[in-house]
Amino acid sequence: MIIGVPKEIKNNENRVALTPAGAAEIRKHGHTLYVQTNAGVGSGFSDEDYRTAGATILPTIEEVYGIAEMIIKVKEPIAQEYNLIKENQLVFTYFHFASSEELTHAMIARKAVCLAYETVEKADRSLPLLVPMSEVAGRMAIQEGAHYLEKPLKGRGILLGGVPGVPPARVLILGGGIVGTQAAKMAAGLGAHVTIMDVSLPRLRYLDDIMPANVDTMMSNEYNIRDRIKVSDLIIGAVLIPGAKAPHLVTRDMLKMMRPGTVLVDVAVDQGGCIETCKPTTHENPTFIIDDVVHYCVANMPGAVPYTSTLALTNATLPYAIQLANKGWQKACRENIELQLGLNVVKGEVVYKGVSEAWNLPY
Residues with a catalytic annotation lie at 96, 270
Q: Closest CB to ligand NAD among 164 and 284?
A: 284
Cα(263)–Cα(174) distance, rounded to whole angstroms? 14
Cα(176)–Cα(162) distance, rounded to whole angstroms? 24
In the complex, the smallest distance separating the C-beta of residue 136 from ligand NAD, rounded to whole angstroms, is 7
Q: Are 182 and 139 in contact (CB under 8 A)?
A: yes
Q: Closest CB to ligand NAD among 36 and 310?
A: 310
In the complex, the smallest distance separating the C-beta of residue 19 from ligand NAD, rounded to whole angstroms, is 20
What are the residues binding ligand NAD (CB under 6 A)? 133-134, 137, 174-180, 197-200, 203, 220, 238-241, 246-247, 249, 267-271, 299-302
Cα(245)–Cα(269) distance, rounded to whole angstroms? 10
Q: Which residue is nearest to ligand NAD (CB)?
A: 177
In the complex, the smallest distance separating the C-beta of residue 141 from ligand NAD, rounded to whole angstroms, is 8
In the complex, the smallest distance separating the C-beta of residue 236 from ligand NAD, rounded to whole angstroms, is 10
CB atoms near residue 84 (< 10 Å): 18
Q: Closest CB to ligand NAD among 88 and 282?
A: 282
Cα(360)–Cα(363) distance, rounded to whole angstroms? 9
Cα(196)–Cα(251) distance, rounded to whole angstroms? 18
Q: Closest CB to ligand NAD among 261 and 286?
A: 286
Task: Name the CA radius of gyration of the chain, rounded.
Answer: 22
Pairing of strands 70-72, 56-58: unpaired
**E-state strands within 157-256:** 170-174, 193-198, 215-219, 234-237
In the complex, the smallest distance separating the C-beta of residue 197 from ligand NAD, rounded to whole angstroms, is 5
Q: Closest CB to ligand NAD among 3 and 249?
A: 249
